[in-house]
């Protein structure tokens, strides 16, 4: 399987939202390329919530999600930036509470507005 990752960044110019739509495969080997995009998105329109939408990804490894959440939790720009919401495919919900400022929602499809 080809483990490429593709990210579409959607920015509402009125400052209502920043959304990163991830397609392809999020693995432990490539998750590190997503974190800088999230970090940059958090500083575009502070304090807007940044949504990382993994619901359209072909594959999301639990280990990759754990590593991404850890990186977001330890982000030194977190106090000045808006929160991050991570939308994961149905049965992918990570165990335990999400770190402060990071929401992890279990979804089956796209999030209703």
Is pLDDT of 97 > 90? no
* Residues 13-55 pLDDT 10s: 888 899 999 999 999 999 999 999 998 998 888 788 999 999 9
pLDDT on residue 107 = 33
| Cβ atoms 70, 35 nearer than 8 A | no
Q: Report the relative pairing of strands 59-60 and 102-107 from DSSP bridges.
A: unpaired
5-107 maps to which CATH number?
Answer: 3.30.750.24
How far is the C-alpha of 54 from the C-alpha of 28, rounded, in Å? 14
Q: Where are the domains of the chain?
A: 5-107
pLDDT on residue 94 = 46
| Cβ atoms 40, 11 nearer than 8 A | no
Report the Cα–Cα distance between both ends of the chain, in Å, rounded.
33
pTM of this structure: 0.77
Find how far residue 18's CA is from the centre of its chain. Answer: 11
Give, in order, the Cα–Cα distances in Å from 65 to each of 12, 36, 46, 47, 110: 26, 15, 24, 23, 18
pLDDT on residue 48 = 87
Residue 56: CB atoms within 10 A of its CB come to 15
């Amino acid at each position: 399987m080809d483990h490429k990752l593709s990210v579409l960044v959607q920015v509402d110019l009125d400052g209502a939202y920043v959304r990163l739509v991830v397609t392809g495969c999020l693995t432990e080997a490539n998750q590190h390329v997503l974190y800088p995009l999230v970090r940059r998105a958090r500083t575009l329109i502070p304090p807007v919530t940044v949504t990382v939408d993994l619901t359209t990804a072909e594959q999301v490894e639990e280990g990759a999600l754990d590593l991404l959440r850890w990186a977001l939790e330890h982000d030194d720009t977190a106090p000045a930036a808006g929160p991050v919401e991570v939308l994961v495919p149905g049965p992918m919900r990570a165990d335990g509470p999400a770190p402060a400022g990071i929401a992890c929602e279990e979804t089956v499809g796209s999030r209703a507005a």
